[in-house]
Structure formats: structure tokens, C-alpha cells
Chains A and B, each alone.
Chain A
């Protein structure tokens, strides 16, 4: 039936108990790394890649790939939680903290719109990407991040559902007024806290 080809929501699917308390409500443990794509996988050449901070900033900022790679880097180990109900524990990433990136611009804004190759966007409160909560990562499990998982670089905001960790991220637009992103404007929760099970509008 046609409904088999449409996302039908994720309540009531398999659930798995977890004694460690690391699985948010409704999530199950995933050993693999599922790939969800809403379009063709971009293959941006590193020579053409850049990362920008634009919007409500005194002076927009842009880093080439080499400049980005020269920024102070951090290694983080985090659990990730997809709204489609899988969770993956102890994932290892390397990249640049948004604290480091945003420290290089003067801004007056309350929200961040992350934008990616392929036209994808996701929105986040600025206060939820500062103070060690978000990174732009280019390395996963010690290897360059594969294109199918968002390489050369993706956002990592592990305390929110993983769709907020936008693949193929190319920049941040700082704004005063919140603007729902690609999935947030199509019925998915504007905030997306897995521990509060904020999957959909109205949750």
C-alpha cells in the first residue's frame, strides 16, 4: 500500500529496555549507523568547500577547508538519538566547537539556522549550541567523515534528535527570529529533546 512509502510516525515501534539509563524514552539501541537521505549525496570537493557565519553579524566570516582544519580541534564521545527511534552509544567525533567558531564573530542574535549543501536547513536556539554543546565535525571513529554520513563536515548537536545534526553543513545564519527548518516545518518538533520525546509538533 502507498502508506508503506510515507513516513508514518514513530510511536509504537519496537522498544527496548535499557538498564544503563542511556536510552531516551521510545528509543532502541542500534549497533550500525543507518543512513537517512532526503536527496542525492553531495560530493563537494574540499577545494570548493567553505564554512560561513552570516546573518546578524557585524562582519560575516568564512573559512576555507584548510583554515577550518587549522582551528583548535576537540575530540568528543557522545550518544546520538535519531527521531526514527534508533540510538547509538559512544560515538567518537573530532571537529571544531561552535564556541570556537562563534567567538570569531560579533553578533546580536538568538537563533542559528544551519544550512547545508542540498538546501537542507535546521534551526536551533543559540543558547543550545554554545558552552560545549555543538560542533562542526569532520572525523568519525578516527576516519574522515564519509559523504553518506554528512562528510566532509556535519553539525553535531548530540543533546537533540540527530536530524538537528545537519549533514553537509556549510554555514550558520544567525537570526533574531526563529525560523523552522526543513523538518521542523513539516510536523517535526521545533526543539527536539529526545529525553522529553519532543518528536512532533505539539509534543
Chain B
């Protein structure tokens, strides 16, 4: 069974590495070009890391893993992040 959660339910997964509330950020998918709120995306809690996918096309937007005390973060699936100045 897939261990799938919405990003909000994932309890601030992205707060670990970003200095603003990522669930309020809009992201443009590098795969299909759709712009959606990160808060509406799906996070897959794979045992090796966390994978956030586009809600429109399932392209991987964000990959995160914590390995030996370091965070590895891959954002290549996001073309543009739109961040509220008050976030």
C-alpha cells in the first residue's frame, strides 16, 4: 500500500529546510507547466526519502532525504516557486 499523504498532513515536512511556509507556496511544474499550491500536492513517504508530486501530472516536484545528518533536496521538478512576501 502506498504511504501517501497530502503535504499539510505531512506535518511541515518542508519547514525543515525552507524559511517560509512551503504549503502556502505556488509551484509551476517543470513537467506539465501547471501551477498549483504546494499545500495541495501529494507527498509519498518512501522509506528512503520523501517525494512530492505534481497533482496534475505526477511529475516529481521535490525529493528529500536525510542521510547521515544532512538533508538532500532536489527541486528540479519545479520551474518556478511563487512565494508570498508575508509567508
A residues near B (Cβ < 8 Å) are 1-9, 11, 34-41, 82-84, 118-119, 148, 163, 182-183, 185-188, 200-202
Contacts and interface: CB of A to CB of B under 8 A. Distances in A.
Contact of B49 (A11, A38, A118, A148): A38
A187 B67 contact: yes
Given A9-B68, A37-B44, A188-B67, A2 B15 contact: yes
14 contacts: A2-B14, A2-B16, A4-B11, A5-B43, A6-B66, A9-B66, A40-B2, A84-B47, A183-B49, A186-B49, A186-B67, A187-B65, A187-B70, A200-B68
B46 A36 contact: yes
Dominant SS at the A interface? loop
Given A9-B66, A36-B46, A119 B2 contact: no
Nearest to B2: A37
A201 B66 CA distance: 12
B36 interface: no
B33 interface: no
Given A8-B66, A37-B2, A38-B49, 9 more contacts: A2-B14, A6-B64, A6-B65, A7-B65, A37-B46, A119-B60, A182-B63, A186-B67, A200-B67
B74 interface: yes
A185 B68 CA distance: 15
